[in-house]
Amino acid sequence: MGIDVSWYKKKKNNFSEPANTNLQTLNTIIKNCKKCKLHETRINTVFGEGSANAKVMIIGEAPGKDEDISGKPFVGRAGKLLTEILSSINLERNDIFITNTVKCRPPENRNPHDDEIKSCSGYLDEQIKLINPKVIVLLGKIAANRILNIDEPISNLRGKKYFIKENNIPIIVFYHPAYLLRSPLQKSKAWEDLKFMDNIITNHDC
């Protein structure tokens, strides 16, 4: 049974939507964003990439060094592993949409601070609204805590289905690929997560 994340609907959204907002317009807004101190150290903003009609939306924690340089999400070692994991079920990166909780790299790849996540929250909410995927996949603890507002180990959050009540999009949690690189014995669990995700996509009728 899924958990109804009804708090999400009530929270304050700090993004003021301009007329005719689409992903391209939102990307332009983000490129000029100075809402938090991360803009002072970034090389590029990392908006995200993929299909605007994606069935699967993947949300990671924050851009790293490679992402900051390229302006694209998940292009380092963890990104390559993510691509391999998705390919195992014939899902190409162009078919999904990948982004992060924050759009600028935190210095030295530290975890994003709460105020930085809050500053970017409206942008992420708008991405979800525009793409309207069939399932959202959260990679790692930071992304899971930001969306679900649940401070639990990833091992306790996997294999369960959560919902944003406002749009009834199922949300599931995966181990972050960077964790799988550090803990290769856990890679088999990625296959379990993929099968769970595929079942949700196949049976989700909303």
Asked whether residue 165 carries a pLDDT value surpassing 70, the answer given is no
Compute the chain's Rg from CA coordinates: 16
Question: What is the domain count for the chain?
Answer: 1
Residue 15: inside a domain: no
User: Could you give the CA distance from residue 93 to residue 126 in angstroms, rounded to a whole number?
Assistant: 21
Residue 199: inside a domain: yes
Residue 19: inside a domain: no
DSSP one-letter code for 71: S
pLDDT digits (tens, 9 = 90+) for 112-136: 999 999 999 999 999 999 999 999 9
Q: At what angle do helices 188-203 and 77-87 cross, to 10 degrees?
A: 50
Residue 142: inside a domain: yes
The domain containing residue 29 runs over which residues?
Answer: 3-9+24-203
Query: Token pair for residue 149?
Result: 């507002």
The model carries a pTM of 0.86
Residue 14: inside a domain: no
User: Could you give the CA distance from residue 133 to residue 38 in angstroms, rounded to a whole number?
Assistant: 28
Model confidence band, residue 2 (pLDDT cutoffs 50, 70, 90): very low
CATH number for the domain harbouring residue 133: 3.40.470.10
Residue 16: inside a domain: no
User: Could you give the CA distance from residue 206 to residue 194 in angstroms, rounded to a whole number?
Assistant: 20
User: Could you give the CA distance from residue 22 to residue 91 in angstroms, rounded to a whole number?
Assistant: 24
Residue 18: inside a domain: no
